[in-house]
Amino acid sequence: MITGKFPNLRLRRSRKNDWSRRLIEENNITPNDFILPIFLIEGKNKKQAIKSMPGVYRYSLDKISLVVDKAIKLGIPMVALFPYTQKNKKDSLGSEALNENNLVCRAVQLIKKKFKNQIGVMCDVALDPYTSHGHDGLINSNHVANDSTIEVLINQSLLQAQMGCDVIAPSDMMDGRIGKIRKALDKNGYYMTQILSYAVKYASSFYGPFRDAVGSKGVLIGDKKNYQMDYRNSNEALREVALDIKEGADMVMVKPGLPYLDIIKLVKENFKIPVLAYQVSGEYSILSNGINKRLIDKSVILESLISFKRSGANAIISYYADRLDKILK
């Protein structure tokens, strides 16, 4: 594989000038590679800072057109919606997930009505923004129940599809939910609604700031290790992906991102399917706080984003996506 020998071969020759570096670049990144997450909150005229994620905000519905409009102008193909749920709307069953008037439902309708197919809308399927215990599913004798949770997730997916959601993204990690959701979508005529499976989602402490953003910080009882993956494992990631492909997933996600580039590469090389990476809240927070405190230069953002592409990711969910004009220039 490796040919040539010093001093005939000098790899620094091709690195000397910018034009030459550009000429032989192996990877690049464009706005097409991004999904912008948007946090939603009740109320009017709100742009509320999220303390643990400097530069990220929760928006009331009357403000999201501006955010989506900017995303479209930047050339971003899709936004992902996440609701901040007030305490009084949470219960042990996560009932608010099935309220056709909840924040996500209203936001999807609004965006699709106004922007049609200029941009895709993706919605998380999981109960954690809505449960009083902070778990992604229903609790049965101190354990997150698999099969009964799926029944609720099916209804949550159908509701989102009905509202106009383009991509249903189950992030709950229950076994078998992709197949059941696909079947229910098809049966109800939503056979063109895509499924992005969070097939490989690790039980991670990098999600900390997100839980603050959606209002489930301090709410979570215990941890999510009995459904999210063990970060010591990678073969198991392939089993998760293989199952979800068979069940009908159109795309799969690996999450978190930066500490799991090996998994992205492994999944891509084994299955040759669209693989998405999630640069999660903790990663965002570390980079942004490091930059704000002048510990590192802001060019770490582009460096870390390119690393996702290098590892084989087709696209990246990133909280930086709304500032791509500055980051990619």
Name the closest residue to ligand PBG (Cβ).
210
Burial per residue of 222-260, b for 16 or more beta-carbon CB atoms within 10 angstroms, e otherwise:
eebeebbbebeeeeebbebbebbbebbbbbbbbbbbbeb
Q: Least distance from C-beta 279 to ligand PBG, angstroms?
A: 8
3-state DSSP assignment of residue 265: helix
In the complex with ligand PBG, the residue whose CB is nearer, 184 or 213, is: 213
Q: Least distance from C-beta 218 to ligand PBG, angstroms?
A: 13
Q: Least distance from C-beta 125 to ligand PBG, angstroms?
A: 9
Distance, CA of 283 to CA of 53 (rounded, Å)? 10
Cα 88–chain centre separation: 26
Q: In this structure, how many other beta carbons lie within 10 angstroms of the beta carbon of residue 293? A: 8
In the complex with ligand PBG, the residue whose CB is nearer, 84 or 210, is: 210
Q: Least distance from C-beta 85 to ligand PBG, angstroms?
A: 12
In the complex with ligand PBG, the residue whose CB is nearer, 210 or 308, is: 210
Write down the catalytic residue from 90, 180, 224, 255.
255
Q: What is the DSSP letter of 131?
A: B
Q: List interacting residues with ligand PBG (CB under 6 A).
A: 124, 126, 128, 136, 171, 207, 210-211, 224, 280-281
In the complex with ligand PBG, the residue whose CB is nearer, 100 or 223, is: 223
In the complex with ligand PBG, the residue whose CB is nearer, 22 or 87, is: 87
Q: Least distance from C-beta 110 to ligand PBG, angstroms?
A: 21
Q: Is 183 marked active-site?
A: no
Query: Which H or E element spans position 39?
Result: strand 34-41
Distance, CA of 199 to CA of 169 (rounded, Å)? 10
Residue for token pair 């990631």: 237
In the complex with ligand PBG, the residue whose CB is nearer, 96 or 136, is: 136
The answer to whether the beta carbons of residues 268 and 275 sit under 8 Å apart is yes
Q: In this structure, how many other beta carbons lie within 10 angstroms of the beta carbon of residue 153? A: 26
Q: What is the DSSP letter of 299?
A: T
Q: Least distance from C-beta 99 to ligand PBG, angstroms?
A: 18
Q: Is 255 marked active-site?
A: yes
Write down the catalytic residue from 63, 112, 201, 224.
201
Residue (of 151, 252, 161, 154) closest to 200 by Cα position: 252
Distance, CA of 124 to CA of 198 (rounded, Å)? 9
Active site residues: 201, 255
